[in-house]
Amino acid sequence: MRRWSQGLSQWWLKDVGCNSFLQAALVGWLTGALFLLLGKPQMLGLMFSLALVSVWSAGALQLVRLRAQENLLLIPGASSHYLVQLAFVLTLVTLLTLVLIAACYPPALNPVLLACSLSAAFMLLTLRAPNFFYLSFFTYLALIFVDNLVILLPLWLPGTLFVLLVLTLCHKLSRADTLRWHPNAKNITVSGVETGWMWLPGVSDNSLADRLSRLLFPISFYTGPMLAGFLFMLTAGTLLAGLLLPAFEIHFPVGFILLQGAGIACLLVHWSRILRRQSTESLLVLPVFDGRRGLAQAMWQSQLRLLILLALLSLLIMTLLNPLSGLDWQWLVQLVLLQLAGCAWCLAAGSLCQRSAHLPWLMLCLIGYSTLAGILIKMTSTSGLAELWWLWHFAAVALGLMALRWACNRGVTGIGRLIG
């Protein structure tokens, strides 16, 4: 009889998709511990929520993988073997994280329990239909609103909801027909890893999406219609939040959603590029570039166009919402400059990353960008520092663009060494 732990590291660490989620979880735990050591326990809930959502997403991916391998389902006891490993990993990680939060910063316990409930509900959805795994990206996006949502709920509800969802999940997995083979599961495990598991219906057939793909080539070569779909979603979601949040008397800065969305868009670009780095060889043989120097120039220009597009998108959205939010134009321009600078530095760091082992650095860049953006949004509203902040904003944008230009050249050189 095989030991329950047999194949644990192979199943969880050697798969690129699962490993990328676990790396994101590691970044969340390390960053949360760093904030705790620095005396900023308020960030502990968000970072540990990020870690737990990542681990549960990895578990959901494992269930999809089981349903994608028909030969594995035919081996007696294989499914139950991997389910025991799944239960062990999720139980151990979740309990240790919750105990640590309860001991170090109890106010963050309910937001983390709500994030765990979201993860358990997401896993139930993937059991119902593997295509729901494409929503994994939105579980991360929902973490932005967890702290605001948990205030509206009774104190007992997040924990109770999590327990009920876990019991439902256990009952569902105990049924023999739950993990039967599904024809769509294979496509998710193969193509989803290259696109961040984000899918929007009809995006690839949209003429506007096609124009955006041509505008952002060659970075759109790696992302496919995913980037255009995310930009559509960001526009619609921000406008919807700007209209609905004030109606429900929820005070949440819409500008922060735009900053977060722009950073995530930059992360998706290089996430897809790293996981599809072998496609660069196909890109280089196309008769559109003058060797690696031409590719480096094209990567720089396409990322510059992405920065300009994100800035114009933010200006348009905030202008449309301006009568409702009452923002002044000086604050709006500073917001756009802050986004330009932060995204330029994120893209520069992403251009230097070449292997899947570098994915945690991308997550750290996004976390750093998000943290600094939240701090600087508050500081830019301080009177008496306006001229100083204007200077810092322009300097940060200029330095970020210079770093991006340099990183594009170095990044293409690194790709050449990897392929060669």
Q: Of 168, 180, 177, 11, whose CA–CA distance to 86 is shortest?
A: 11
Q: What is the mean pLDDT of residues 198-214?
A: 61
102 and 130 part of one domain: yes
Predicted pLDDT of residue 416: 44
> CA geometry: angle at 208 spanning 202 and 210, to 5°?
80
Residue 246 has pLDDT above 90, yes or no: no
Predicted pLDDT of residue 203: 46
Q: To which residue do tokens 């391998």 refer?
A: 69
- For the chain, percent of residues with pLDDT exceeding 70: 74
Residue 112 has pLDDT above 80, yes or no: yes
Residue 75, SS3 per DSSP: coil
Domain boundary pick from 165, 191, 217:
191
147 and 207 part of one domain: no
Predicted pLDDT of residue 286: 67
pTM above 0.75, yes or no: no
233 and 311 part of one domain: yes
The reply to whether 2 falls in a domain is: no
pLDDT digits (tens, 9 = 90+) for 351-409: 888 777 777 777 777 777 777 777 766 665 554 445 556 777 788 888 989 988 898 88
Predicted pLDDT of residue 74: 64
Predicted pLDDT of residue 252: 67
The reply to whether 13 falls in a domain is: yes
Lowest mean pLDDT among 67-71, 234-238, 326-330: 326-330
271 and 317 part of one domain: yes
Domain boundary pick from 167, 191, 215:
191
Predicted pLDDT of residue 335: 80
226 and 186 part of one domain: no
For the chain, the domain total comes to 2
Residues 292 and 298 sit within 8 Å (Cβ to Cβ)? no
Q: What is the mean pLDDT of residues 412-416?
A: 55
Q: Of 196, 67, 53, whose CA–CA distance to 122 is shortest?
A: 53
32 and 107 part of one domain: yes
**How many helical (H) and strand (E) elements, i.e. helices and strands, does the chain have?**
18, 0
- Alpha carbon distance 261, 176 (integer Å): 41
The reply to whether 197 falls in a domain is: no
212 and 360 part of one domain: yes
- Alpha carbon distance 231, 227 (integer Å): 6
- Alpha carbon distance 73, 251 (integer Å): 49
160 and 308 part of one domain: no
The reply to whether 182 falls in a domain is: yes
pLDDT digits (tens, 9 = 90+) for 266-290: 888 887 787 776 666 667 766 666 7
pLDDT band (50, 70, 90) for residue 202: very low
- How far the first Cα of the chain sits from its last, in Å, is 45
251 and 158 part of one domain: no
Domain boundary pick from 134, 165, 191:
191
| Residue 232 or residue 121, greater confidence | 121
Q: Of 72, 86, 63, whose CA–CA distance to 17 is shortest?
A: 63
Range of the domain at 241: 202-419
